[in-house]
Amino acid sequence: MARELHLTTITPMRLIAPLLLACAILCQASEPAAARWEGTVQIPGREMRVVIDLAQDSQGRWTGSAVVPGFGIKGTPLADIVINESEVAFTIKGALGDPKFKGRLTGSGALTGDYQQAGNTAPFTLQKAGPPQVESPRGSTSVRKELEGTWQGEMDLFGTVKVRLDLVNEAGGTATAKFIFTRNKETPLPLNLVTDEGGILTVESTENGITYEGRFRKEASEITGTFQQGPFEVPLVLRSAAKNASEARP
């Protein structure tokens, strides 16, 4: 009889730890803010489509990324993420002037609130679209030897703009780049992402929503591609400045 009493007393104690662990896992899995959210910001005169991914890591810390299709924003990390029951806040860091989202989860599976950027406020509504797909921040790569140097061209963006692109492979194994635009005066624009993958050169300034994607044509010593700033896309062909100089010599 004593042995049976001993077992009855101990068995529930042994179950406490697994039950608490299961409860913690279920609570984390049911966190309503952890999801992919898709919707729009009602900017005056137009809608801006956004995709937000929010997730928790194994330590319960929040991570996230943003996609803004009309502005060339792809997988930009979120910062200052605060989740407090139904209250949700975060910042898209390093793009579009670091806008802030402050909202509330609703019972219908929506996230609504205010988009704040440069002193302006606009309403947003996002709907839960599935599990989170947080993207890791992309890093620059090196560029092919043929792409190093200075490239020049012109594009029609509310008038003719002369464009210069400088590409340099650094000692650390990644490339850096800078655009210089000239209309009435020279305007330099450092680029924070440079990739040369799959035959496509991509340079970006996420802060300014600028992307240029082009394909190198070795036989013509030129890069043929598209320049995008926000919703505006224009063709842009860049030719090697060294080749231009050699052709100009008598």
Residue 70 confidence (pLDDT): 79
Diameter of the chain measured on Cα atoms: 111
The model carries a pTM of 0.61
Highest mean pLDDT among 69-78, 130-139, 165-174: 165-174
pLDDT at position 250: 57
Q: What is the pLDDT of residue 57?
A: 87
DSSP 145: G
pLDDT (tens digit, 9 = 90+) per residue, 196-223? 999 999 999 977 889 999 999 999 999 9
Task: State residue 94's pLDDT score.
Answer: 82
Pair type for strands 193-197 and 120-130 = unpaired
Phi/psi at 144 (nearest 5 deg)?
-60, 150
Query: What is the model's pLDDT at position 189?
Result: 93
Please compute the mean of the pLDDT values over residues 82-104 and round it to a whole number: 93
CATH superfamily of 145-248: Calycin beta-barrel core domain (2.40.128.20)
Domain 145-248 in the same topology as domain 32-130: yes
The domain 32-130: what is its CATH number? 2.40.128
The upper half-sphere exposure of residue 190, i.e. CA atoms within 13 Å in the direction of its Cβ, equals 3
Give the pLDDT confidence of 75-84 residue by residue, as tens digits: 889 999 999 9
Check residue 247 and give its pLDDT. Answer: 56
Q: Where are the domains of the chain?
A: 32-130, 145-248
Return all residues near 26 (Cβ < 8 A) that are at least 6 apart: none
- pLDDT at position 16 is 44
Q: How far apart are CA 234 and CA 220, in angstroms?
A: 21
Which residue, among 97, 104, 66, 99, has the nearest Cα to 82 in the 3D structure?
A: 104
Query: In terms of pLDDT, which residue wins out, 247 or 220?
Result: 220
- Of 130, 34, 134, 115, whose CA–CA distance to 75 is shortest? 134
CA distance 96 to 92: 8
Instruction: Work out whether strand 160-169 and strand 110-117 pair parallel, antiparallel, or are unpaired.
Output: unpaired
